[in-house]
């Protein structure tokens, strides 16, 4: 990022709506936590870890990502993970975040739900107080597990309803359609949670339709396969349902062979409410600024397009009205500076 022509991309006030906290685990922290918790890793050193981060599709990544998550044991571990992400946000001028966490990845290993949520939410509270980064936290259900597991997870979350703002759906997309989770999403909606779901990342456009019509989500995570379906495009443009697109993730998981083939700017030109996000930055080679840099380098992203992408993120966020207004003010200050 030492290239001065990237400075404006780092200074751009940003909002992140698609970020898995477990996907921010940097190799250095992985080694530190493994040592702290006496866990043996299948890697000798950081170079080994980096070599393992070569993926041909989503499942290759998920296998390594779930293995990495085994180093989290205590509330302090979840705090440290979240805090490290927030420091990165501060460095990249990310002002508002709506991170995901995957409780089932941890409860299935015998870690209490309470341990996970307390560590994460203490760090988010500190981030708001000390760094001025506002947040809404989203709990994801793992779609390769059953709906009854998801319902049990929702029940565990009820005690912490003041700390969790939304629910989402992630993990292995193909073969696990949104409809599988219709009951748990309906229950979550009745309890007042905001709803999002990964759809149309590797899976077909029909998964975007059913996320909208069956799960009744407020946002679609990824959604790039919408480009295969003109009727769906019209629906998404008319409704302005946001799509949280993750450029570096899509090239790392080979959804696109190369960033020069990414369709995000075509989607923006069509009038879709697309946003830029980092997904699992430690695994995919970059946080928010690096995602914007990649669009600038490979797709000649302009300042006008970058500003529109941020406006979309502010609009698409679950931030309160007053906070949205202050985010727009920060963006205006950037535009006029």
Residues that bind ligand ADE (CB under 6 A): 20, 23, 58, 65, 170-171, 198, 201, 249, 279-280
Residue nearer to ligand ADE on the CB measure, 249 or 313:
249
Least gap, CB of 199 to ligand ADE (angstroms)? 10
100 forms bridges with which residues in the sheet? Answer: 20, 138
d(CA 172, CA 175): 8
Partner from ligand ADE, Zn ion, none contacting 225, C-beta within 5 to 8 A by type: none
Partner from ligand ADE, Zn ion, none contacting 16, C-beta within 5 to 8 A by type: none
Dihedrals φ, ψ of 194, to 5°? -70, 155
Residues in region 70-89 near Zn ion by CB under 5 A: none
Residue nearer to Zn ion on the CB measure, 119 or 168:
168
d(CA 194, CA 288): 23
Partner from Zn ion, ligand ADE, none contacting 171, C-beta within 5 to 8 A by type: ligand ADE
Measured CA to CA in angstroms, residue 332 lies from 119, 128, 293 at distances of: 34, 22, 21
Residue nearer to ligand ADE on the CB measure, 65 or 78:
65
Partner from ligand ADE, Zn ion, none contacting 194, C-beta within 5 to 8 A by type: none
Least gap, CB of 142 to Zn ion (angstroms)? 12
Least gap, CB of 202 to Zn ion (angstroms)? 11
DSSP 15-59: EE--BBGGGG--HHHHHHHHHHTT---S-SSHHHHHHH---SSHH
Least gap, CB of 228 to ligand ADE (angstroms)? 18
Active site residues: 201
Residue nearer to ligand ADE on the CB measure, 244 or 330:
244
Burial class of residue 155, CB neighbours in 10 A (0-12, 13-18, 19+)? exposed
Least gap, CB of 312 to Zn ion (angstroms)? 18
Question: Which stretch in 206-214, 275-283, 312-320, 329-337 sits in contact with Zn ion by CB under 5 A?
Answer: 275-283
| Angle of the 288-299 helix axis to the 303-316 helix axis, nearest 10 | 140
Residues contacting 52, CB < 8 A, separation 6+: 43, 64
Q: Residue 202's closest CA among 306, 324, 319, 58? A: 58
Question: Which stretch in 78-86, 133-141, 171-179, 277-285 sits in contact with Zn ion by CB under 5 A?
Answer: 277-285
d(CA 220, CA 201): 10
Least gap, CB of 76 to Zn ion (angstroms)? 25
Buried b / exposed e over 27-61, threshold 16 CB at 10 Å, is bebbbebbeeeeeebebeeeeebeebbebeebeeb
What residue number has its CB nearest to Zn ion?
Answer: 279
Residue nearer to ligand ADE on the CB measure, 14 or 20:
20
Say how many C-beta atoms besides its own lie within 10 A of residue 167's C-beta.
Answer: 28
138 forms bridges with which residues in the sheet? Answer: 100, 166
| Binds Zn ion by CB under 5 A, chosen from 16, 80, 102, 279 | 279
Partner from ligand ADE, Zn ion, none contacting 23, C-beta within 5 to 8 A by type: ligand ADE
What residue number has its CB nearest to ligand ADE?
Answer: 170
Residue nearer to ligand ADE on the CB measure, 23 or 223:
23
d(CA 180, CA 159): 25
Q: How many residues interact with Zn ion (rule CB under 5 A)?
A: 1
Binding stretches for Zn ion (CB under 5 A): 279
């Amino acid at each position: 990022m030492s290239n001065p022509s990237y400075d404006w991309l780092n200074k751009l006030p940003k909002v992140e709506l698609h970020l898995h906290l477990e996907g921010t685990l940097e190799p250095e922290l992985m080694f530190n936590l493994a040592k702290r918790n006496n866990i043996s890793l299948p890697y000798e050193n950081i170079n080994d870890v980096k070599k393992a981060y070569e993926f041909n599709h989503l499942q290759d990544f998920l296998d390594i990502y779930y293995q990495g998550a085994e180093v989290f044991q205590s509330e302090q571990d979840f705090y440290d993970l979240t805090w490290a992400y927030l420091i990165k946000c501060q460095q990249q001028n990310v002002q508002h975040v709506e991170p995901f966490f995957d409780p089932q990845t941890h409860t299935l290993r015998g870690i209490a739900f309470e341990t996970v949520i307390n560590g994460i939410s203490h760090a988010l509270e500190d981030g708001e107080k000390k760094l001025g980064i506002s947040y809404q936290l989203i709990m994801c259900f793992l779609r390769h597990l059953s709906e009854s597991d998801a319902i049990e997870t929702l029940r565990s979350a009820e005690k912490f309803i003041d700390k969790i703002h939304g629910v989402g759906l992630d993990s292995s997309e193909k073969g696990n359609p949104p409809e599988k989770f219709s009951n748990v999403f309906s229950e979550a909606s009745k309890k007042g949670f905001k709803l999002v779901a990964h759809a149309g990342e590797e899976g077909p456009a029909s998964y975007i339709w059913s996320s909208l019509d069956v799960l009744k989500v407020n946002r679609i995570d990824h959604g790039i396969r919408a480009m295969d379906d003109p009727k769906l495009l019209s629906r998404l443009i008319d409704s302005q349902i946001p799509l949280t697109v993750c450029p570096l993730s899509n090239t790392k998981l080979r959804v696109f062979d190369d960033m020069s083939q990414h369709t995000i700017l075509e989607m923006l030109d069509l009038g879709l409410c697309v946003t830029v996000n980092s997904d699992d930055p430690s695994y995919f080679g970059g946080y928010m600024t690096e995602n914007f840099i990649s669009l600038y380098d490979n797709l000649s992203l302009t300042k006008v397009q970058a500003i529109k992408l941020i406006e979309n993120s502010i609009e698409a966020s679950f931030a309160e009205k007053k906070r949205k207004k202050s985010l727009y003010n920060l963006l205006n200050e950037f535009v006029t500076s």
